Structure 1
Amino acid sequence: MNFYDTVKQFDDGRMLPLVEEFYTLQGEGFQTGKAAYFIRIGGCDVGCSWCDSKLSWNPKTFPPVKVDEIVERASQYPAKAVVVTGGEPTLYPLDYLCAELKKHGIQTFIETSGAYPLTGQWDWICLSPKKQQPPAEGIHLMADELKVIISSQADFEWAEENASKVKSTCQLYLQPEWSVYNSIIPSIVDYIMNNPKWRVSLQAHKFMRIP
């Protein structure tokens, strides 16, 4: 069974290849510091060399889990907010997941590269585009937040290319790639000081040593 055949087994959206789920504080971008329940879905073919969740790439590693069970666990926590991440969550139909979360009064947030068309009902969409597999048509205008990972000087141009496609209310963030944080952060600081439409996003959860 190849990658896409594996993904198709989840087509009805009532089961998902769950990598992990946990309650913590959001660590990046606009929502930094807010409590939320994280749902990490397995499967990704974008293939970022610096990805810190490579274990999630192969959906075959993670048996299908009933969405109803995931929602029930998420609903037990005080913060009525769920962040769906991956992997690449847009590989799966997420309408059912969102609808069930909404029934419990839970806000829905998604972190995506935008590589595939987006399904589901979202209160906040964080788009983090990748050069090797650019976002699908139309997703830029859906984004509430654009978060571009900066690992080299060339990434600033990629950031501006994507910023030109989002709506005027979209929040713009540049985030240092963790493994080169010390060497790249001075360039990001200088760039934002000269281009103040951008803000910096730090992986605060790593500094706090929480999930």
Structure 2
Amino acid sequence: MDTRTLSSQVRAGQALPIMESFYTVQGEGTFTGHAAYFIRIGGCDVGCVWCDVKDSWEAARWPIQSIEEIVAGARAYPGRLAVITGGEPLLYPLAPLTDALRAAGFQVHLETSGAHPFSGSFDWVVFSPKKFKAPHPSIFEVADELKVVVSHKSDFTFAQENASKMYKNAVFRLQPEWTKSSRYLGSIIEFVKLHPEWQISLQTHKFMEIP
């Protein structure tokens, strides 16, 4: 298939640059501990300085896979929870992928910064806003979980600002940035005690040393 045809398919969401896909256990947020198949889409323009998957930023580095190939990879494992992540997955139209996964019997989750218009059909949407690129307004109407990574004292105010814009009864979570956990975990604990509508999310997969 020629380059122009591939590019056209990516723009339509019929094929996507896939950095990696793997079967593991969800380590963060509401579904911590659940077996899940992760689909990491390449490409991101948000630029978080503490990102632990910076290799995902350049979409051109990663092979293009058809929707059929992506779903076939997921179906090879017994779990039926698929998590679409990145990179920033909303750079692409996600309806073709989510429709195919749901047709194959998967519960489909999204992890996104919300920096681009929302697309796709999901059972659970985790919105993790970043200061480096403002979220698109469409994310506030659909997010089920607001997860703010804390790497600076100003992130508590940032978290409250985003929580005030949520449309639905979402779960609010604060997660310490892994390399600064010892510095901010105490402050997060005290914040949650004062603001009980918030909960703490930990990257349990890193404690377990699994992908």
Name the TM tier (shorter chain).
over 0.9
User: Which residue pairs with 1:154 in the alignment?
Assistant: 154
- Per mean C-alpha deviation after superposition, the further-off stretch among 71-80 and 178-187 is 71-80
Report the equivalent of 2:50: 50
Q: Secondary structure at the match of 1:11?
A: helix
Deviation per residue, 1:98-122 (Å, 9 max, x gap): 1111111111100000000111100
Give the drift of 1:76.
2.1
**2:201 counterpart residue number:** 201
Q: Which moved more, 1:57-66 or 1:7-16?
A: 7-16
Q: Paired residue for 2:17?
A: 17
SS of the counterpart of 2:69?
A: helix
Structure 2 regions of 5+ residues with no counterpart?
1-5
> What CA distance in whole angstroms lies between the structure 2 residues aligned with 1:113 and 1:52?
15
Kept in 1, the 8 Å contact 2:40–2:87? The answer is: yes
CA distance in 1, matches of 2:9, 2:47: 21
Q: CA deviation at 1:138?
A: 2.5
Provide the residue aligned with 1:188 in structure 2: 188
**SS of 1:161's equivalent?**
helix
Deviations 1:79-110 (A, max 9, x none): 11100000000000111101111111111100
Moved more, 6-15 or 112-121: 6-15
Which shows bigger deviation, 186-195 or 167-176?
167-176
Show the counterpart of 1:38. Answer: 38
Identity in percent:
50
Q: In structure 2, how many angstroms separate the alpha carbons of the residues matched to 1:198 and 1:168?
A: 15
Question: What TM-score do you get using the length of structure 2 for normalisation?
Answer: 0.94
Moved more, 165-174 or 33-42: 165-174
What residue number does 2:65 align with?
A: 65
Q: Deviations over 1:21-63 (max 9, x none)?
A: 0001101111111111000000001000000010000001012
Kept in 1, the 8 Å contact 2:118–2:138? The answer is no
Q: TM-score, normalised by structure 1?
A: 0.94
CA contact (8 A) 1:7 1:43 kept: no
- Describe how 1:78-93 pairs up with structure 2 within 5 A: 78-93=78-93
> Does the 8 Å contact 2:148/2:159 carry over to 1?
yes
The 2-side partners of 1:7 and 1:115 are apart by: 22
Match of 1:26 in 2: 26
Name the CA distance, whole Å, in 1 between partners of 2:162 and 2:88: 19
Contact 1:19 1:41 in 2 (8 A): yes
Matching residue's letter, 2:56: S
Which amino acid letter does the alignment assign opposite residue 201 of structure 2? Answer: S
Secondary structure of 2:130's partner? coil
Q: Which amino acid aligns with 1:164?
A: S
1:105-162: CA deviation from partner (whole Å, max 9, x where unpaired): 1111000000001111000000000112111012112100000000111000000000
SS of the equivalent of 1:70 reads: helix
User: How many residues matched?
Assistant: 206
Contact 2:144 2:168 in 1 (8 A): no
Distance in 2, Cα, partners of 1:8 & 1:54? 25
Unaligned runs of 5+ residues in structure 1 are: 1-5
Task: Output the aligned Cα RMSD.
Answer: 1.3
Q: Which residue of 2 aligns with 1:133?
A: 133
The more displaced of 129-138 and 31-40 is 129-138
